[in-house]
């Protein structure tokens, strides 16, 4: 490995500013533990002076025994016309009792005169005084040079003076911020090169980079900053952040470490990257983009027949890294364009001795094409495709017989209205009739079915519907359009997806729901199956 690049994760501060995200104190503590296990150097955990929740968090995080990460509190320079020791938010930074403090200050003269209405020299004093005071209180100090790239382009002399004020005040690292997210990689590279030569302690002084993604270049800008000599990269593990997000560390870390030979985290920890990114997304209640580089569900997914054939011969043909190196996995999906090899691979997980030229294989391929012609789509429904294979191979039996069901919804268009479903099923000659209330007809039907089946199959109690999607396929047909329903289910251990298609949304949902339940029962009965999700 070449030089070490320190990683500062700001999920709990910058990431929490993303629309729709609100972490509880317990959420934040879980994320701290996760990031520490991953091995990032710094966890920027929030602004202790901004709200009571962050104040509570900083009192509790001190109880954690961290192995790899330092906790950083975040704040601003002292306010104008206030002595640094008297500023309430500076006092809050000290009260947080963290080993590291990150503070930001204005480096763009426009912001100084037009936004905070300060004198240019007073702003420099605010930066210097804050850095000096924090150092005198035994803090490791990182200065976030806010709006630095815009400021440097507008007035390079003043932007450098602001940085030098922090250096002379004793800051340990200066992070140059593309706060508006509008910089280009060549600008970032050339400006950092220039700054390294001109700051008060040239070349050897550690510079960092903090990028936002408003032009879609935060990852590229961060990489170019390191190429120009930056020693620290700031971002969030999943790219969460205000507006268009922050630099995505789940792509930056492997790019630097696996592709450019820098040292960001311990090599053994790289295998935890995918799990960490997905877990943080789960805590934030935000689905991680399937197409996320390295850690996304589709990052190593292959659909086209020629691609699948090539990967089977040598993964390097269509994979830029080994997916297992970052904790992800290769996925071959079934579709009408996937080719015989991909389908055979799926069939062999049900019947290992199948031949790619066998009549059974040909029958399954033709069935797949026919079903997709009707509107079914199995690339996102591995659970449904396994059941299709089992039916064609004669390795399927229904676990129950539906006699009938009835759904009643009183004024369903009103907020808070509920629906009731009654269902009658037969299992092994025994009849069960039950009913359940839910938030809408599908939820009621789901509850009623599981309630009835639990009488015969207690393991159904762990089954939960985790996602439900409806797509209209023939919009020109208006209310007579066919719809495709995808249901993602979980039992706390595995996830799988099933699909149903019909001109009736209730019927399409029922098809997907029944397949989901039967997949669960097949799985728990110990028969051969391949994992969905």
Parse the chain into domains and list their residue ranges.
Answer: 6-284, 301-375, 400-456
Query: Hey, is 226 helix, strand or coil?
Result: helix
pLDDT at residue 388 tops 60: yes
Residues 6+ apart with CB under 8 A from 117: none
* Average pLDDT score over residue span 510-524: 89
Q: What is the largest CA-CA distance in the chain?
A: 88
Task: Tell me how far apart the alpha carbons of residues 294 and 301 are, in angstroms, rounded to a whole number.
Answer: 11
| Residue that wins the pLDDT comparison between 286 and 232 | 232
For 145, how many CA atoms within 13 A lie in the half-sphere containing its CB?
A: 34
pLDDT at residue 517 tops 70: yes
* Average pLDDT score over residue span 413-420: 70
> Could you tell me what percent of the chain has a pLDDT over 90?
54
Q: Check if CATH label 3.30.2130.10 holds for domain 6-284.
A: no
| Residue that wins the pLDDT comparison between 199 and 156 | 156
Task: Tell me how far apart the alpha carbons of residues 378 and 475 are, in angstroms, rounded to a whole number.
Answer: 21
Q: Which residue has the tokens 């040909």?
A: 362
Task: Tell me how far apart the alpha carbons of residues 58 and 152 are, in angstroms, rounded to a whole number.
Answer: 35
Helices (H), 401-498: 441-453
For 30, how many CA atoms within 13 A lie in the half-sphere containing its CB?
A: 13
Task: Tell me how far apart the alpha carbons of residues 446 and 431 are, in angstroms, rounded to a whole number.
Answer: 18
Task: Tell me how far apart the alpha carbons of residues 143 and 306 are, in angstroms, rounded to a whole number.
Answer: 51
By CB atoms closer than 10 A (0-12, 13-18, 19+), residue 238 is buried
Q: Are strands 232-235 and 301-302 parallel, antiparallel or unpaired?
A: unpaired
* Average pLDDT score over residue span 476-490: 76
CATH topology of 6-284 equal to that of 400-456?
no
pLDDT of residue 363: 86
| Residue that wins the pLDDT comparison between 100 and 505 | 100
* Average pLDDT score over residue span 38-67: 90
- The CATH class that applies to domain 400-456 reads alpha beta
Average pLDDT of the residues of the chain:
87
Query: Which of 70, 106, 98 has its CA nearest to residue 232?
Result: 70
Split at pLDDT 50, 70, 90, the class of 141 is very high
Region of poorest pLDDT, from 175-189, 215-229, 294-308, 467-481: 467-481
Split at pLDDT 50, 70, 90, the class of 214 is very high
Give 4-40 pLDDT, tens digit per residue.
999 999 999 999 999 889 888 988 999 999 999 999 9
- Quick check: 75 and 108 in contact, CB under 8 A? no
- Quick check: 522 and 382 in contact, CB under 8 A? no
Residues 6+ apart with CB under 8 A from 114: none
By CB atoms closer than 10 A (0-12, 13-18, 19+), residue 269 is middle
- Quick check: 191 and 225 in contact, CB under 8 A? no
Region of poorest pLDDT, from 111-115, 165-169, 294-298, 491-495: 491-495
pLDDT at residue 293 tops 70: yes
Split at pLDDT 50, 70, 90, the class of 528 is very low
pLDDT at residue 379 tops 80: no
| Residue that wins the pLDDT comparison between 533 and 462 | 462
State the pTM of this model.
0.69
* 432 strand-pairing partners: 425
Give 435-444 pLDDT, tens digit per residue.
999 888 888 9
Cα angle: 177, vertex 279, 67; to 5 degrees: 70
* Average pLDDT score over residue span 395-404: 88
pLDDT of residue 162: 97
- Quick check: 521 and 454 in contact, CB under 8 A? no
Task: Tell me how far apart the alpha carbons of residues 346 and 352 are, in angstroms, rounded to a whole number.
Answer: 10
Phi, psi torsion values for 209, nearest 5 degrees: -135, 135
Split at pLDDT 50, 70, 90, the class of 486 is confident
pLDDT of residue 354: 80
pLDDT of residue 203: 67
Residue 250, Cα to own-chain centre: how many angstroms? Answer: 9
Give 345-370 pLDDT, tens digit per residue.
778 878 877 877 888 888 888 888 78
pLDDT of residue 527: 44
Split at pLDDT 50, 70, 90, the class of 54 is confident
- The total of other beta-carbon atoms located within 10 Å of residue 374's CB is 11
């Amino acid at each position: 490995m070449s030089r070490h690049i320190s990683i500062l994760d700001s999920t709990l501060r910058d990431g929490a500013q993303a629309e729709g995200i609100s972490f509880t104190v317990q959420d934040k503590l879980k994320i701290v533990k996760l990031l520490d296990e991953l091995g990032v150097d710094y966890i920027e955990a929030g602004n202790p002076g901004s709200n009571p929740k962050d104040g509570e968090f900083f009192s509790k995080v001190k109880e954690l025994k961290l192995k790899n990460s330092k906790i950083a509190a975040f704040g601003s320079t002292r306010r104008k016309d206030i002595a640094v020791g008297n500023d309430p938010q500076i006092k809050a930074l000290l009260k947080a009792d963290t080993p590291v403090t990150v503070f930001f200050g204005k480096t763009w003269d426009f912001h100084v005169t037009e936004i905070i209405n300060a004198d240019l020299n007073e702003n420099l004093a605010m930066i210097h005084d804050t850095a000096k005071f924090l150092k005198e209180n035994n803090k490791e100090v990182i200065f976030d040079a806010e709006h630095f790239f815009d400021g440097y382009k507008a007035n390079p002399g003043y932007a450098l003076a602001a940085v030098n004020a922090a250096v002379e005040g004793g800051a340990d690292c200066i992070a140059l911020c593309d706060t508006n997210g509008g910089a280009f990689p060549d600008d970032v590279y050339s400006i950092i090169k220039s700054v390294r030569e001109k700051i008060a302690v040239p070349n050897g002084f550690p510079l960092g980079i903090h990028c936002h993604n408003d032009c879609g270049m935060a990852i590229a800008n961060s990489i170019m900053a390191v190429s120009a000599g930056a020693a620290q990269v700031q971002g969030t593990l999943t790219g969460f952040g205000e507006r268009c997000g922050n630099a995505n560390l789940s792509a930056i870390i492997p790019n630097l470490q696996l592709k450019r030979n820098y040292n960001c985290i311990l090599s053994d920890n790289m295998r935890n990257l995918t799990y960490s990114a997905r877990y943080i997304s789960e805590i934030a209640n935000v689905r991680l983009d399937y197409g996320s580089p390295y850690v996304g569900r589709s990052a190593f997914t292959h659909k086209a027949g020629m691609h699948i054939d090539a990967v089977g011969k040598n993964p390097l043909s269509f994979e830029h890294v080994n997916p297992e190196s970052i904790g992800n996995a290769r996925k071959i999906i079934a579709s009408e364009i996937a080719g015989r090899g991909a389908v055979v691979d799926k069939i062999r997980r049900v019947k290992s001795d199948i031949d790619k030229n066998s009549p059974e294989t040909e029958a399954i391929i033709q069935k797949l094409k026919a079903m997709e012609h009707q509107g079914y789509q199995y690339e996102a429904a591995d659970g449904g495709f396994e059941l299709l294979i089992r039916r064609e191979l004669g390795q399927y039996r229904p676990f129950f017989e539906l006699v009938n069901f009835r759904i009643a919804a009183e004024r369903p268009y009103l907020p808070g209205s509920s629906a009731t479903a009654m269902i009658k099923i037969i299992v092994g000659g025994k009849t069960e009739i039950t009913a359940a209330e839910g938030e809408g007809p599908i939820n009621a039907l789901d509850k009623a079915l599981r309630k009835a089946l639990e009488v015969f199959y207690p393991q159904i109690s762990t089954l939960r519907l985790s996602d439900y999607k409806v797509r209209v396929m023939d919009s020109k047909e208006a209310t007579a359009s066919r719809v495709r329903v995808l249901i993602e289910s979980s039992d706390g251990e595995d996830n799988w997806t099933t699909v149903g298609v019909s001109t009736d949304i209730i019927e399409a949902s029922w098809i997907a729901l029944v397949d989901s339940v039967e997949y669960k029962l097949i799985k728990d009965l110990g028969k051969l199956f391949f994992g969905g999700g």
